[in-house]
Amino acid sequence: MTTQAQPAAARTRDRAATEERILAAVGGVLARDGFAAVGVNAIAREAGVDKVLIYRYFGGLPELLRVWGASGRFWPSVEELIAAMPSPLTSLPVHERYALFFACFIDALRARPLTIEILAAEIVARNELTAILESEREQWGAQVEALIGGADLQRLPQLRGITLLLVAGVQYLLVRSRTIRIFGGLDLRSDATWAVLKASLRSMASQLLADAPAPATPRVPAALASARRRKP
């Protein structure tokens, strides 16, 4: 009796499912054991696969960590942020795009408790994983600049520093909320607090960018615009 070869479609599905388990295992090991425990053997055990598959499918640990970092599990992609915004994004005034970005960014980070733990840990120690995640975030920053204003915001050079401080401030407050619930009289674990902070950002953006020109043409890169159109 001969055994028929597994159909190509089935093999593709099996590989995709295995890759998904491996990527999920990276987060599992990180959440439970921390940075020091992240290695091929630990990830393979967590995923229930032979470690050979990690090398076969990803090339090795650095490549696996890079894919995990870019997968959206750690950091919200620009496409994810766009999907949470109203349409059409490119027709909105710059100040509205700016405020919407921060509102969606806050929500995305609050939905990622593992990310908050990693942000806290990387302050103390830098390693191969944090270096990879740093690179991913730098690329993300360039995409965000295009999303919330592009050339229009280049006319306000001071805005880069302001945006940097705001992004860092959001991260700090979320990291702080792990161990300190009340900050400045506000409950950092409360939805109401974050609603107040979002409203403050909207007010600031409206005043800061009141004179920014309305976009004459879409500024969002084609790949990101297409992701926005795919929203159900």
Q: Rounded to two decimals, what is the model's pTM?
A: 0.78
Please report whether residue 56 resides in a domain.
yes
Please report whether residue 198 resides in a domain.
yes
Residue 82: per-residue pLDDT: 84
Same domain membership, residue 87 and residue 177:
yes
Looking at the 3D structure of the chain, how many domains does it have? 2
Please report whether residue 2 resides in a domain.
no
Same domain membership, residue 208 and residue 122:
yes
Average pLDDT over residues 169-182: 95
Q: Comparing 46-60, 98-112, 206-220, which segment has the lowest mean pLDDT?
A: 206-220
- Name the pLDDT band for 55 (thresholds 50, 70, 90): very high
7-11, 78-82, 85-89: range with highest mean pLDDT:
78-82
Same domain membership, residue 144 and residue 83:
yes
Residue 48: per-residue pLDDT: 94
Whether the pLDDT of residue 229 is over 70: the answer is: no
Same domain membership, residue 85 and residue 18:
no
Please report whether residue 20 resides in a domain.
yes
Closest to 147 measured CA to CA, from 80, 59, 192, 206: 80
Please report whether residue 138 resides in a domain.
yes
Residue 228: per-residue pLDDT: 45
Q: In this structure, what CATH number is given to the domain that contains residue 13?
A: 1.10.10.60
Same domain membership, residue 225 and residue 151:
yes
The more confidently predicted of residues 25 and 153 is: 25
The domain in which residue 52 lies consists of: 8-70
